[in-house]
């Protein structure tokens, strides 16, 4: 009896909001009206805390923090780790009228003798290879978007796995105007502190073996994360301008492999601090690209 009464009261309340608003309230615990047009998306707790601490005139609405970053109105929402979580947040942003979504967080680097990359380097992925399963789910239900996307031969295919891996893999890109503004700020203020890279997004955090890394190296991929391909792909699908600014946290297969070593490089936190500085300096010009 009590459960029936609760459901009836809930259904009465739902009559006064749209399905889109219900979804936003379900996942962000606030109204779509409380989400700004520019949203910053950290994944890990450390980065979330650093960004929120920079907010001026800070207000909290459910899981959304609002305020000013370098004079620009933004919302800060923690995505947590992985493409499924990123996709849920992007669905909420779509229903909130968001124009720009910027991921700032960590990624892993891939050591390459010809193009050395190091812990603490700040990167912006100019191509995100979809090694995740989330984007594939969206392709099943949005087949028309396939014509707008770029596909390449899957670098992970090997002779004995050809029947089990897709022959093609999707490549998504950030918004060109935002990328241009960030690179411009980097050149003028930070003297080329930012590194443009190809990035592979993966679902299996613990699956970065030597064979996997060597396959990515051959494709010229220098970084690995668990969110950017869904950010870029869904941004393209929903007309939200997107970009990732990522600091290298570890180098799989080396002394500083986060999953196999207890040794933390001193530049890890410095890298995310540099990434945050680039974001702050870029926001005024980025806000004009909406």
Average pLDDT, the chain: 90
What pLDDT was estimated at residue 148?
Answer: 81
- Check whether 119 has a pLDDT greater than 80: yes
What pLDDT was estimated at residue 10?
Answer: 54
When pLDDT is averaged across residues 219-238 and rounded to a whole number, the result is: 96
What pLDDT was estimated at residue 34?
Answer: 98
Q: Name the burial class of residue 140, with classes exposed (0-12), middle (13-18) and buried (19+) by CB atoms within 10 angstroms of its CB.
A: exposed
What pLDDT was estimated at residue 81?
Answer: 97
CA distances to 19, 255, 271 from 264, rounded to whole Å, are 46, 10, 13
What pLDDT was estimated at residue 266?
Answer: 84
d(CA 102, CA 108) in angstroms, rounded, equals 18
What pLDDT was estimated at residue 7?
Answer: 54
For a pLDDT cut of 70, what percent of the chain falls above it?
Answer: 93
127, 275 contact by CB (below 8 A): no
- Check whether 89 has a pLDDT greater than 60: yes
**Which residues are within 8 A (CB) of 202 and not within 5 positions of it... i.e. 6 or more apart?**
131, 132, 208, 224, 225, 226
What pLDDT was estimated at residue 257?
Answer: 84
What pLDDT was estimated at residue 260?
Answer: 82
d(CA 229, CA 166) in angstroms, rounded, equals 17
What pLDDT was estimated at residue 63?
Answer: 98
Under the banding of pLDDT at 50, 70 and 90, the label for residue 289 is confident
- For the segment(s) 2-287, the CATH number from 2.70.150.10, 1.10.3720.10, 1.10.10.10, 3.40.50.1580 is 3.40.50.1580
User: Lowest-pLDDT range, 53-62, 92-101, 134-143, 156-165?
Assistant: 156-165
- Check whether 127 has a pLDDT greater than 70: yes
What pLDDT was estimated at residue 73?
Answer: 98
User: Lowest-pLDDT range, 6-15, 105-114, 130-139?
Assistant: 6-15
Task: Report the Cα 171 to chain-centroid distance in Å.
Answer: 14
3-class SS at 225? strand
When pLDDT is averaged across residues 81-90 and rounded to a whole number, the result is: 98
d(CA 274, CA 280) in angstroms, rounded, equals 10
pTM confidence score: 0.92
What pLDDT was estimated at residue 4?
Answer: 63
Under the banding of pLDDT at 50, 70 and 90, the label for residue 284 is very high
Query: How confident is the model over 29-58, as pLDDT tens digits?
Result: 999 999 999 999 999 999 999 999 999 999
Query: How confident is the model over 159-188, as pLDDT tens digits?
Result: 667 778 888 899 999 999 999 999 998 888
- Check whether 1 has a pLDDT greater than 60: no
Domain ranges of the chain: 2-287
């Amino acid at each position: 009896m009590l459960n029936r009464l609760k459901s009836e009261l809930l259904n009465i309340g739902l009559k006064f909001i749209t399905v889109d608003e219900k979804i936003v309230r379900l996942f962000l615990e606030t109204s779509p009206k409380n989400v700004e047009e520019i949203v910053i998306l950290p994944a890990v707790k450390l980065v979330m805390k650093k960004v929120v601490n920079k907010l001026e005139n800070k207000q909290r609405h459910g899981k959304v923090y609002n305020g000013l970053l370098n004079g620009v109105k933004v919302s800060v929402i923690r995505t947590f780790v992985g493409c499924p979580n990123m996709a849920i947040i992007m669905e909420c942003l779509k229903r909130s009228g968001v124009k720009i979504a910027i991921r700032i967080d960590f990624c892993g680097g891939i050591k390459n003798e010809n193009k050395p990359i190091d812990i603490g380097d700040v990167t912006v992925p100019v191509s995100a290879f979809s090694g995740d399963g989330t984007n594939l789910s969206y392709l099943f239900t949005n087949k028309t978007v396939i014509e707008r996307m770029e596909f390449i031969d899957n670098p992970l295919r090997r002779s004995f796995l050809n029947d089990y891996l897709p022959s093609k893999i999707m490549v998504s890109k950030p918004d060109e105007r935002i990328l241009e503004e960030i690179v411009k700020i980097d050149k003028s203020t930070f003297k080329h502190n930012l590194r443009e890279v190809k990035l592979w997004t993966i679902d299996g955090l613990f699956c970065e073996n030597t064979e996997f890394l060597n396959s990515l190296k051959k494709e010229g991929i220098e970084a690995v994360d668990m969110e950017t391909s869904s950010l870029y792909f869904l941004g393209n699908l929903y007309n939200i301008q997107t970009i990732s600014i990522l600091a290298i946290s570890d180098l799989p297969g080396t002394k500083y492999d986060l999953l196999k070593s207890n040794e933390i490089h001193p530049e890890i936190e410095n890298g995310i601090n540099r990434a945050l500085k680039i974001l702050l300096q870029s926001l005024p010009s980025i806000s004009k690209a909406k």
